[in-house]
Chains A and B, each alone.
Chain A
Amino acid sequence: MSNIKGVPQNVEDKLFSVKYKPCEKSHLQPTPSDCARCKTKPCTTFCPAKVYVWDEEGNQLLVGYENCLECGACRIGCTYQSIKWEYPEGGCGVTFKNG
């Protein structure tokens, strides 16, 4: 059981408490041309699992889909609603034990 001492402040550590079964491919496909013109890139802040990180040098959005909590916020909150968003394959992704 993933049970960490104390309650961590940063989200990377919080995510250690979550059980995942890895999926082979990403279920989250943002549209790169939209990300390039997206001014505030809100997905990089509101995502509760910090899945999206803007890579300034590569001028691209990095997607750490393995950490996704499957909440759907980015599907609705993407500036252009242009993320191709699916559920990870049956049996994959997050398993909440204490939801």
Chain B
Amino acid sequence: MVQKEIVLQKQMADVIIVGGGPAGISAATILARAGKKVVVIERGNFAGSKNVFGGAIYAKPTAEIFPNFEEEAPLERCNTEHRYALLGEDDGTVISYKNPIHCQKGETNSYTVIRAKWDRWCAEQAKKEGAYIVTETIVREIIIKESKVVGIKTDLEEFYAPITIIADGVNSLLTKQLGLRKETQPKEVALGIKEVITLSKEKIQDRFNLDDKTGVIYTIAGGPMLGMLGLGYIYTNQESISIGVGVSLEELQKRNIKPYEILNELKEHPSIAPLIKDGDLKEYSAHLIPEGGYNSMPKILGNGFMVAGDAAMFVNNVHWEGTNLAMLSGKLAAETAIVALEQNDFSEHTLELYKKKLKHSFILKDLKTYRNVIPTLEHNASAFLGFYPKKINEFMEMFTSVDSIPKRQKYRTFIKNIFKERNLFKIALDMLKLLKLVWGVIVR
């Protein structure tokens, strides 16, 4: 064995990328395709081995980076349906939008994938383009010289390049090390846990009303998360389903609840249990989701570096879109790096182009649009995520049950009960907040 401390080899590249997730690999692919010398450093055994998501990847942004992915990549199912389930304690209301067109060529919207296979495939494409991917290696430190980022340090080696793209995900120890952000706070992240449950193809297709290619996404509110800032989800894979919850870490911390107990309860809910009955646990996993959005973004560029993906808090926390923002921000960072390399100027001033590109894209626009949604829900969780969802289910119960009570009397009792539990003033205030929120999303 060579002594670690002695052999600190030095390597040179045009661009160093930290992190082999969607952001890092997309950047690497674009750069390598343009003939640049790129090194990606990934801490896992292979790209994807440390990564967990819901999840679905989105066809259009993916095709911008991997044009042939629909023919070649390991995809599970193309999603033609999205169901929104609003669960009460034991009851539930589900609305669904289904459009078979989303499984037709040129019209696909999203695909379920398994990150261990998907990220790995993406990394292989980057490699084919000429990127150099180093796995099982942790970037411990960013090297700064004369207030410029000039490279990175791993346990064994140093790599030098005029540009470093930091795409180290939600925990981003490196942006913190560089002082680009304060320590993340519990309310700025959600803890996601997930179980992949094996079920036969036939069972999945029967239970979810699918054929052998199509899939369905469930977004689930309420149930064990009534009154809580948290959502559940189900995604269908070829021969398994992914089910999980994402709950604000602050909620978990304050209420002293165990995340897996919430998931256990969700799986027992009468609206969910039949879907996963008799399945076997294939894998349990956990990962954080950045929730802070626009208000929590770190400084995303400076002399010699740019930050992309989750590390920059680029997640649309209302729609749970993350991989698309990661891929696109990686692509924009790569395009900026190409310009900088051509001009041989790696100053903050030149790299400002990255921010300009982000501003023109949906990334910063969407993050800005939704910047007040999570704070509003957080402050009004018991009303918007507890009281009203319960009432909607009670309304459905009243509306659908047949019991020889005159309908008008039922309506009146229902309305009377609402005002008994929450006074008119509070309800008016809630409506005002809701209007303000919608106004903020659509107009401002």
Taking CB as reference atom, which chain B residue is nearest A71?
B286
A47 to B122, CA, bound (A): 31
Decide yes or no: A7 and B115 within 8 Å by CB, A46-B253, A99-B52 being known contacts: no
Cα distance A48–B286 when bound, in Å?
7
A-B contact pairs, 23 of them (CB 8 A): A4-B280, A7-B276, A7-B280, A7-B281, A14-B281, A42-B256, A45-B252, A45-B256, A46-B256, A46-B257, A48-B260, A49-B286, A69-B285, A72-B170, A73-B191, A73-B249, A76-B249, A77-B253, A93-B50, A96-B50, A96-B283, A98-B115, A99-B194
A94 at the interface (CB under 8 A from B): yes
**Contact mask A21-55 → B, CB, 8 Å, 1/0?**
10000000000000000001010011011000000
Given contacts A3-B280, A96-B52, contact A45 B138 (CB under 8 A): no
Q: Counting chain B CB atoms within 10 Å of each CB, which of A2, A4, A14, A49 scores highest?
A: A14
A3 CA / B198 CA spacing, docked (Å): 9
Tell me whether A90 and B281 are in contact (CB under 8 A). Answer: no
Instruction: With A3-B281, A42-B252, A69-B287 given, name 10 new contacts (CB 8 A).
Output: A4-B281, A21-B45, A42-B254, A71-B287, A77-B249, A89-B155, A96-B48, A96-B50, A98-B196, A99-B283
Instruction: Verify A97–B283 contact, CB threshold 8 A.
Output: yes
User: Which residues of B sit under 8 angstroms from A70, Cβ to Cβ?
Assistant: 50
CB of B51 within 8 A of CB of A46, answer: no
Q: Is the CB of B280 within 8 A of A40?
A: no
Contact B184 A11 (CB under 8 A): no
The prevalent SS among residues of B at the interface is: mixed
Whether the pair A18, B264 counts as a contact (CB closer than 8 A) is no
Is B288 at the interface (CB under 8 A from chain A)? Answer: yes
Q: Are B49 and A3 in contact (CB under 8 A)?
A: no
B195 in the interface, Cβ–Cβ < 8 Å?
yes
Contact with A along B259-270 (1 / 0, CB 8 A): 110001001000
Establish whether residues A45 and B193, one from each chain, have CB atoms under 8 Å apart when the complex forms.
no
CB proximity to A under 8 Å, residues B236-278:
240, 242, 249, 252-254, 256-260, 264, 267, 276, 278
In whole angstroms, what is the CA distance A43 to B240 when docked? Answer: 31
**Does A81 count as interface, using CB distance less than 8 angstroms?**
yes
Q: B229 at the A/B interface (Cβ < 8 Å)?
A: no
Contact between A46 and B258 (Cβ–Cβ < 8 Å)?
yes
The complex places the Cα of A35 from the Cα of B48 at a distance, in Å, of 34
Say if the beta carbon of A6 comes within 8 Å of chain B: yes
Bound: A42/B258 CA distance, A: 10
B71 adjacent to chain A (CB < 8 Å):
no
Interface size on B, residues (CB 8 A): 59
Q: Are A18 and B281 in contact (CB under 8 A)?
A: no
Question: Interface residue tally of chain A, by bracket?
Answer: 35 or more
Any A CB within 8 A of the CB of B179:
no
Q: Which of B51, B137, B183 contacts A81 (CB 8 A)?
A: B183
How close is A45's CB to chain B, nearest CB, in angstroms?
A: 5
CB-defined contacts of B173 to chain A, threshold 8 Å: 86-87
Query: Does chain B have a CB within 8 A of A17?
Result: yes
Q: Which residue of A lies closest to B193 (CB)?
A: A48
Expressed in whole angstroms, the Cα–Cα distance for A83 and B253 within the complex equals 15
Task: Write the chain B residue with the least CB distance to A14.
Answer: B284
Given contacts A6-B280, A45-B258, contact A76 B184 (CB under 8 A): yes
Contacts of A63 in B (CB 8 A): none
The reply to whether the CB of B369 lies closer than 8 angstroms to some CB of chain A is no
A33 to B368, CA, bound (A): 41
- B197 lies within 8 A of chain A by Cβ: yes
Residues of chain A within 8 A (CB-CB) of B135 are 90-91
Provide the residues of chain A in CB contact with B283, threshold 8 Å.
2, 17-18, 96-99
Residues of B within 8 A of A40 (CB): 256
A contact residues around B136 at 8 Å (CB): 90-91
**A94 touches which one: B50, B197, B258 (CB < 8 A)?**
B50
Which residues of chain B have C-beta atoms less than 8 A from A81's C-beta? 183
Partner among A17, A42, A93 whose Cβ is within 8 Å of the Cβ of B281? A17
Check if A7 sits within 8 Å of B279, measured CB to CB: yes
Q: Is B326 engaged at the interface, CB distance under 8 Å to the other chain?
A: no
Contact A69 B259 (CB under 8 A): no
CB distance from B173 to the nearest CB of A (A): 8
Q: In the complex, what distance in Å separates the CA atom of A8 from the CA atom of B264? A: 9
User: Do the beta carbons of A17 and B115 come within 8 Å of each other?
Assistant: no
Once bound together, how far apart are the Cα atoms of A18 and B53, in whole Å? 16
Contact residue among B188, B259, B279, B281 (Cβ-Cβ distance under 8 Å from A46):
B259
